[in-house]
Amino acid sequence: MSNTPSNPKGTRDFLPSELSKRNFIIDILKKNFKNFGFSEIETPALEKTSTLLGKYGNEGDRLVFKILNSGEKVKKADIIALKSNDLKSFTKSVSEKGLRYDLTVPLARYVAQHQNSLTFPFKRFQIQSVWRADRPQHGRFQEFTQCDADVVGNNSIVQEIELIKLYDKIFSELGFDDLVFKINHRLILKGIADYLGLKTNLNEFISIIDKLDKIGLDSVVNKIKEKFKDVSFSKLENLLKNKTLNFENISLLLNDSLLAKKGIEDLKSVFDFISSKSINNEIRFDLTLARGLNYYTGTIIEVVSKSNTSLGSLGGGGRYDDLTSLFNMKNTSGVGISFGLDRIFILMEEKKLFPYYLKNSFDIIIINFGIKYLKEIYSFIDLLRNENNKVLIFPDKVKLNKQFSYANKHNAEYAIIFGENEFNNKEIIIKNMIKGTQSVHDLKDLNTNILK
Amino acid sequence: MSNTPSNPKGTRDFLPSELSKRNFIIDILKKNFKNFGFSEIETPALEKTSTLLGKYGNEGDRLVFKILNSGEKVKKADIIALKSNDLKSFTKSVSEKGLRYDLTVPLARYVAQHQNSLTFPFKRFQIQSVWRADRPQHGRFQEFTQCDADVVGNNSIVQEIELIKLYDKIFSELGFDDLVFKINHRLILKGIADYLGLKTNLNEFISIIDKLDKIGLDSVVNKIKEKFKDVSFSKLENLLKNKTLNFENISLLLNDSLLAKKGIEDLKSVFDFISSKSINNEIRFDLTLARGLNYYTGTIIEVVSKSNTSLGSLGGGGRYDDLTSLFNMKNTSGVGISFGLDRIFILMEEKKLFPYYLKNSFDIIIINFGIKYLKEIYSFIDLLRNENNKVLIFPDKVKLNKQFSYANKHNAEYAIIFGENEFNNKEIIIKNMIKGTQSVHDLKDLNTNILK
């Protein structure tokens, strides 16, 4: 028996006050996902290692939590592999299952597995835990919640438009109006590379462009000149001279690029439909937005805060043409967005966006003068609960100040007092714990309006 | 890449139609837990093995899913233990964490760990997954959801009364009125054993009594005579002659038992407060109710269906005096109940208790005649969503029958039609997909009442 028990490093216990705030966010997400026509699904925490491994790169494979085989199966441990330091083979010999690493690969597996039960386009959302064997550190957890909405099996730009509207709707309802929805397109990045005569290492080129915000134009030009000998420098300078790399300039520049054509058309459709005037936050083309390029194939989106730029993105997403082909289901385009629950939580705390009422764990306390008195007013307690008041009956007939102190610690709004005096006078006392006032009511005449 | 991907045996993917029903149940649980003054908490799926092991017996220890240590740590594998078939030591050498097996031990760990941040009595509910490495079979899963409500740090019988009221409230709201809430008390069982002169093997005695329903009175008497030589047979016959082992008879019989006194008082308080008349279902004393005796120390409760007795219990609970002492926190009495989500689901399907509206994944489809027309009515779509209508925009401008067929597959109630004709006539058509009727409305005059 451990002396001072604790949860494992990198995991969290949620106290009621914290969880009610997290659920405030999650409830708003769920409601709006549904109102936009998304259906909820759930997949198991446990997946076969054959489903999980090989999808996230070597580093990802290492970070997947593996489940030790149970019982006699563990005897098949490959001791030779262990001794020769081949940990991968050893792990394979003692583990067949792991914990899901994200919600995207399970979605691909789910769609491929259940394709005959689903109707496409399949709009699904999923809010579940994922696990990563990262070194635990401040703000990075081994167990955390992902919140994803994706549309599978449709390549219409209407999806991108709706997803940005959904971002705006949800973040507005949470209280944000100073966010930027950055948007770019994979084919525009390809077009730029092509325009510059860049044949290889597109990802490296993008990762330099990605630093524009941090290191400035001159450094970016120098770095590109240094790394890429085959780039046309006159064009590069021409490109970067357009100090504002806005959508109009880029469109003109890539006017003749067949590669970029679809990307430009897509974003034009988005900007025709959504302007920063038509939403509460801001939408902005950002040529330097890169986001996991080997994964996305079309539009890419990222949400950042103007007031807290060090926090990182509050959400992101994009279109991927090839997801379910991991599981032998071809030609299934998908597009999705995710919400960074922990960062949204931090920013809402910072901006004091959580409503005050989340602080109380119940609304009304029933002061206990003995079980006989509780029974007398139990039908009224029933009534209060039926109208969604959170009512706690103090369990013991103890001193009043102890009962009131409990109520205050929980920020209860009302106390209901019904003891011997009240019983004899056929009345009930309602005390407003916030205002410190109280009112007396006829026992025959109890209804929930007397709380008003 | 696997050819036909699948989730692991013993786990489940939830399709939208199934999940919406599960969540219908869970939402009713959560609402009522809150209305009864319980606060929600969450604990991590991962717990230290030192927290998990040694709490569930040897069989339980075996069924805890163990997480393989990551990276270099796995090199510490105890090969000698493995070779000498000491699987327990081997497991210990490669695993420090496991998946939670239930919500009770994590609750005890949580309360002991956070005791200074909590206010007692601490009323918490928790609805999360648990994992057991059981052999997967029909209706038994390795990953399933537990729904628990417990009060920690209080021994008033008011808790038991409230928990039974809570059972009745929740099951009534789910549509059940033919359930039996069986109730018994550990101290009454002790009193009976004492009355019979039984010195040892109380659990075995109880397990025979537990079979009364199945094997009948005579067999029970014979089995007891066979097993227990030290039992007073005259008293046993006297006891069992009271063919109805009801609460009044048992109380009279154990009138002088100091051991049983508190048990009888407790149940008397419960029956004084709650009769089958005052609830929608039935409350019934059941001397043969046993429920994991080594765990509970006071009241025990179980919920069964009268119409489907083969299904097993739909929920159960009781009082335990000694839970947190596992983690060195003494004198903390607890009492709790749980809800068997999967069985409740099965019985609700059987009785067709799920509301029809759960079948549709959206309420309204917007027929797509091109992005230009969508933009024109987007503010109306916004309005519909703001009033919590689930609205899906069909993403592609394809043949109408294809769009309507998609809507029908999802049981959509309304289709909104706005194409070139409607644009020219400044009107919009609302089609009721259930009734097959349609109505035309002025574009200037759109509000959500036109759906009525």
pLDDT per residue over A296-334, tens digit each?
Answer: 899 999 999 999 888 889 999 999 988 888 898 888 999
Q: How confident is the model at residue A206 (pLDDT cuts 50, 70, 90)?
A: confident
Q: Is B37 on the interface with A (CB under 8 A)?
A: yes
What mean pLDDT comes out for the span B411-415?
Answer: 95
pLDDT of residue B240: 67
Average pLDDT value for chain B: 92
- Mean pLDDT of all residues in B404-426: 96
Interface test with B, best of A78, A80, A90, A94 (most B CBs within 10 A): A94
Contact B90 A82 (CB under 8 A): no
* The residue type at A211: K
How confident is residue A3, by pLDDT bands cut at 50, 70 and 90? low
Question: Which of A19, A36, A41, A42 to probe the B interface (max B CBs under 10 A)?
Answer: A42
Query: Is B69 in the A-facing interface, judged by CB distances under 8 Å?
Result: no
Distance CA B101, CA B134 (A): 11
Report phi then psi at B114, rounded to 5.
-105, 20
Work out the percent of chain B whose per-residue pLDDT is above 70: 98
Best CA proximity match to A146, nearest among A107, A183, A113, A186? A107
CATH architecture for the domain at A359-451: 3-Layer(aba) Sandwich (3.40)
Q: Do B45 and A129 touch (CB under 8 A)?
A: yes
Using CA atoms, how far apart are residues A417 and A212, in angstroms rounded to an integer? 66
A224 min Cα distance to partner chain B (Å): 37
Q: Which residues of A touch B4 (CB under 8 A)?
A: 113, 328
ipTM of the predicted structure? 0.94
pLDDT for res A446: 83
Q: Which pLDDT does position A381 carry in this prediction?
A: 96
CA distances from B213 to A228, B184, B250 (A): 83, 15, 18
Average the pLDDT over B99-103 and give the result. Answer: 97
pLDDT value of residue A2? 45
Nearest residue to A36 (alpha-carbon basis) of A147, A150, A146, A189 = A150
Model confidence pLDDT, tens digit, residues B110-120: 999 999 999 99
Condensed to tens digits (0 to 9), the pLDDT of residues B263-281 reads: 999 999 999 999 988 999 9
User: Out of B133-147, B214-228, B362-376, which region has the weakest mean confidence (pLDDT)?
Assistant: B214-228
Helical (H) or strand (E) element with B282: strand B282-285
Looking at chain B, the whole-number percentage of residues with pLDDT higher than 90 is 71
Per residue in A401-419, pLDDT (tens digit) is: 999 999 999 999 999 999 9
Q: Measure the CA–CA gap between B368 and B402, rounded to whole angstroms.
A: 11
3-class DSSP state of B162 = helix
**Which of B25, B47, B70 to probe the A interface (max A CBs under 10 A)?**
B70
A133 CB within 8 Å of a chain B CB = yes
Res. A181: pLDDT tops 50 = yes
* Residue B449 confidence class, pLDDT cut points 50, 70, 90: confident
d(CA B180, CA B183): 9
**CB contact at 8 A, A144 and A130:** yes
In this predicted structure, the answer to whether residue A28 has a pLDDT above a threshold of 70 is yes
In this complex, the residue of B31, B47, B131 whose CB is nearest that of residue A7 is B47
CB A300 within 8 A of CB A289: yes
Residue B339, chain A, CB below 8 Å: the answer is no
Q: What is the pLDDT of residue A51?
A: 95
Mean pLDDT of A115-140: 93
State chain A's mean pLDDT as an integer.
92
Residue A1, pLDDT above cutoff 60 = no
Q: Which residues are B97's β-sheet partners? A: B48, B67
pLDDT greater than 90 at residue A221? no
Instruction: Please check the confidence at residue A137 and state whether its pLDDT lies above 90.
Output: no
Contact B293, B189 (CB under 8 A): yes
Q: What is the mean pLDDT of residues B340-348?
A: 97
Q: Which of A90, A133, A391 sits opposite B35 (nearest CB)?
A: A391
Domain assignments of chain A as residue spans, ordered by start: 30-43+100-350, 46-99, 359-451
- B2 has a pLDDT exceeding 50: no
Q: How confident is the model at residue B1 (pLDDT cuts 50, 70, 90)?
A: very low
Q: Does A45 touch chain B (CB under 8 A)?
A: yes
User: Which has more pLDDT, A188 or B202?
Assistant: A188
pLDDT of residue A187: 93
Q: Which residues of A touch B362 (CB under 8 A)?
A: 37
Contact list, B333 vs chain A (CB under 8 Å): none
Q: What is the average pLDDT across A242-248?
A: 76
Other residues' Cβ atoms within 10 Å of the Cβ of residue B139: 9
> Do B107 and B148 form a contact (C-beta atoms < 8 A)?
yes
Assign a CATH topology to domain A30-43+100-350: BirA Bifunctional Protein; domain 2 (3.30.930)
Sign of dihedral through CA atoms A40, A45, A47, A52? positive
Contact of B146 with chain A, judged by CB distance below 8 Å, is answered with no
A412 Cβ contact list (under 8 Å, min separation 6): A360, A362, A363, A364, A365, A392, A433
- The C-alpha atoms of residue A263 and residue A111 are separated, in whole angstroms, by 27
Q: CA of B80, closest CA in chain A: separation in Å?
A: 10
Q: Do A328 and B410 touch (CB under 8 A)?
A: no
> With the C-alpha atoms ordered A231, A236, A239, A243, is the resulting torsion angle positive or negative?
positive
Touching check for B134 and chain A: CB below 8 Å? no
B280 touches chain A (CB under 8 A): no
At the top level of CATH, the class of B360-451 is: alpha beta
Closest by alpha carbon to B230, among B258, B203, B205? B205
Angle (deg, nearest 10), helices A341-350 and A16-35: 110
Tell me if chain A has a CB within 8 Å of the CB of B157: yes
Using CA coordinates, name the residue in chain A closest to B82: A75
Give the CA radius of gyration of chain B.
29
**b/e A414-448 (16+ beta carbons within 10 angstroms → b):** bbbbbeeebbeeebbbbbebeeeeeeebeeeebee
- Indicate whether B235 pLDDT > 60: yes
- Highest mean pLDDT, choosing among A210-219, B134-143, B380-389: B380-389
> Taking CA atoms, what residue in B is nearest to A156?
B395
Nearest CA in chain B to A42: B14
**Rounded distance between C-alpha atoms, residue B177 and residue B171, angstroms:** 8
What is the value of pTM for the model shown?
Answer: 0.95
Asked if B253 and B242 touch (Cβ cutoff 8 Å), the reply is yes
Per-residue pLDDT band at A119 (split at 50, 70, 90): very high
List the single residue in B with minimal CA-CA distance to A383: B35
Q: Give the C-alpha separation, B98 to A11, whole Å.
A: 13
CATH fold group of domain B16-43+101-350: BirA Bifunctional Protein; domain 2 (3.30.930)
Q: Does B144 touch chain A (CB under 8 A)?
A: no
Nearest-angstrom CA–CA distance, B272 and B251: 14
Residue A58 has pLDDT above 90, yes or no: no
Nearest to A68 among B51, B54, B67 (CB): B67
- State the Cα–Cα distance between residues A278 and A322, nearest whole angstrom: 32
User: Does A218 lie at the interface with B, CB-CB under 8 angstroms?
Assistant: no
| Closest by Cα among B195, B79, B129, B165 to B342 | B129
- Residue A360: pLDDT band (50, 70, 90) is confident
CB-CB under 8 Å, A97 with B388: no
Non-local (6+) Cβ contacts of A176 within 8 A are A280, A281, A305, A347, A351, A353
Q: What is the rounded average pLDDT of the residues A261-290?
A: 93
**Could you give the CA distance from residue A126 to residue A116 in angstroms, rounded to a whole number?**
20
Tell me how far apart the alpha carbons of residues A370 and B273 are, in angstroms, rounded to a whole number.
12
CB B66 within 8 A of CB B93: no
